[in-house]
Amino acid sequence: MINMAGTSMGSYDKPMMKGSGLEMKCGCQLGKHMGGPKMMGGDGKKGFRESFAENRKAGNKEFKYEGKMYSTKTAEDVATGLNDKDLYKAFEKAEAIVNSFENVPGSSKLRSNEEQFDSYYNEGRKRQAAKASGAKMMGKKSCGK
């Protein structure tokens, strides 16, 4: 089945409680789309966010999670290191991803994408404010005030 956002929500022929006599059917796959054990650590082991936080707090630049290497840089760290042109490109890309119909509301993937978008947006606003205040100050200086 396809939901209103155009993403697959599973089929309605999956039994909820096998062998219990209550062969109820459910079409949603909450564990798959709502963060589930992989991102949040719900299966007894640490989730990605917990591992990231521990390694960042320990001062590590990189860490290994499920066999892959990840950086401990946050989106804010990345945004502050970009020049204006690259920041704008990153903002546009993040905006397109967040506004994509592939996102499932409430999922951890969407949460991560929104955090990146917010970081680029906030950094851009800071830079605009700094430029605007700098232009006002320079205007005052050039007028001899």
pLDDT score for 98: 87
14-43 burial, b if ≥16 CB within 10 A, otherwise e? eeeeeeeeeeeeeeeeeeebbbbebbebee
pLDDT score for 136: 60
pLDDT score for 43: 52
SS3 129: helix
pLDDT score for 65: 92
Cβ pair 24, 15 in contact under 8 A: yes
The model scores a pTM over 0.75: no
Q: pLDDT tens for the chain, 145 residues: list them.
A: 454 545 444 444 444 444 444 444 444 444 444 444 455 455 557 888 899 999 999 999 999 999 999 999 998 999 999 999 999 999 999 999 888 877 777 777 788 889 999 999 999 999 999 988 876 655 554 444 4
pLDDT score for 37: 46
pLDDT score for 100: 82
Task: Kindly write down the DSSP assignment for every residue of 96-108, as one continuous string.
Answer: HHHTSTTPPTT-H
pLDDT score for 137: 55
Q: Tokens for 23?
A: 């062969």
Domain ranges of the chain: 46-132
